[in-house]
Amino acid sequence: MDDILLARIDGNVGLATLNRPEVLNALSLELMKRLVDALEAFDADPNVYVIVLAGSEKVFAAGADIGDMADASLVEMYERNQFARWMRIKQIRKPMIAAVSGFALGGGCELAMHCDLIVASETARFGQPEINIGVMPGAGGTQRLTRAIGKFRAMEMVLNGRFLSAQEAFQAGLVTRVVAREQFLAEALRLAHEIARRPPIALKLAKEAVLKADELPLSEGLEYERKLFYTLFATRDQKEGMKAFLEKRPPRFEGR
Ligand code: CO8
């Protein structure tokens, strides 16, 4: 249990848990390496359809490990190229659910925002307090937060280090749902298992299409979506899904 990253598979759901309680799950270089390796292993595993990324009930993650950066020079930070690892999280094709309880700060908030759904406990606190330690968000916070909650609320968080409570984050559109503290992981896993009953290839393409909405103008996004929609007619799961509906029986998807 003292491993910094715990990974297990339950049915068709992969669960990765951050486990550095003594530093509030600060995202050290080693923890990020282990996490990205685990996420990529889940992404490559044909038995995993959905991924859950969790912290503990007390804390999701209090940001990048400040000890890793405090004395670093620009050249060291540049050569370290740690954001390459974060880019690999962006490449994960399967749906990812963040299970957030307690603080999700700095890189912790950015990590949650790399996921596709966020289940928050009522104790969750989201923030980008980097300004208080002389820097600013670096793993997508200024961009993803602004897209999720809009410029004016994002500015207050980024410029003034304001935290959002779970309810505020829900109302602002940053969180999928808020549940009781002791339920946060069970609810994230329940949602993951529910989504995992869907056809896996359609899940991946649907995720890809939704994420394109942040990148493309509407007309190109619609065209992109249409192409992926047509692509699904090459899958056995499309035939099975529609046939099962017409035969009034549950579908048996195989990811083909
Ligand atoms: N890094 C390293 N250690 C940390 C971090 C952190 N981010 N957060 C907490 N710790 C350590 C504390 O130093 C303390 O250690 P010790 O017991 O040895 O003194 C222990 O965790 C417990 O923390 P506190 O005593 O401070 O606990 P409190 O409950 O009093 O406070 C807070 C909790 C408010 C969360 C407080 O710990 C805090 O403000 N933490 C820092 C939050 C922060 O500034 N996060 C942003 C970090 S910078 C960042 O994320 C940039 C991302 C850039 C991209 C990613 C590149 C990898």
Residue 65: CB within 6 Å of ligand 1?
yes
Sorting pLDDT into bands at 50, 70 and 90, what band is 129? very high
Q: What is the mean pLDDT of residues 215-238?
A: 98
Q: CB under 8 Å to 230, separation ≥6 — which residues? A: none
Q: What gap in Å lies between CA 122 and CA 93, rounded to an integer?
A: 29
Sorting pLDDT into bands at 50, 70 and 90, what band is 1? low
pLDDT above 70 (res 58)? yes
Q: Which of 30, 34, 94 is nearest to 65 (CA)?
A: 30
Pocket probe for ligand 1: among 19, 66, 77, 113, the residue whose CB has the most ligand atoms within 8 Å is 66
Condensed to tens digits (0 to 9), the pLDDT of residues 82-125 reads 999 999 999 999 999 999 999 999 999 999 999 999 999 999 99
The closest residue, in CA terms, to atom 27 on ligand 1 is: 24
Residue 138: CB within 6 Å of ligand 1?
yes
Q: What gap in Å lies between CA 53 and CA 185, rounded to an integer?
A: 10
The closest residue, in CA terms, to atom 18 on ligand 1 is: 23
* Structure-block tokens of residue 94: 């399967």
Token pair 């700095």 is found at 106
Q: What is the mean pLDDT of residues 171-197?
A: 98
Q: Looking at residue 210, what is its pLDDT? A: 98
How long is the chain?
A: 256
Going along the chain from its start, the domains and CATH numbers come out as 5-195 (3.90.226.10), 200-246 (1.10.12.10)
The closest residue, in CA terms, to atom 13 on ligand 1 is: 23
Q: CB under 8 Å to 249, separation ≥6 — which residues? A: none
Mean of pLDDT over the chain: 97
Q: What gap in Å lies between CA 222 and CA 213, rounded to an integer?
A: 9
The closest residue, in CA terms, to atom 15 on ligand 1 is: 23
Condensed to tens digits (0 to 9), the pLDDT of residues 7-54 reads 999 999 999 999 999 999 999 999 999 999 999 999 999 999 999 999
Active-site residue set: 64, 107, 110, 130
Q: Which of 80, 154, 63, 165 is nearest to 120 (CA)?
A: 165
Counting other chains too, the contacts that 71-80 makes at CB distance below 8 Å and 24 or more residues apart are: 80/29
Q: Looking at residue 2, what is its pLDDT? A: 77
Pocket probe for ligand 1: among 4, 20, 22, 23, the residue whose CB has the most ligand atoms within 8 Å is 23
Contact (CB, 8 A) for 123 and 165: no
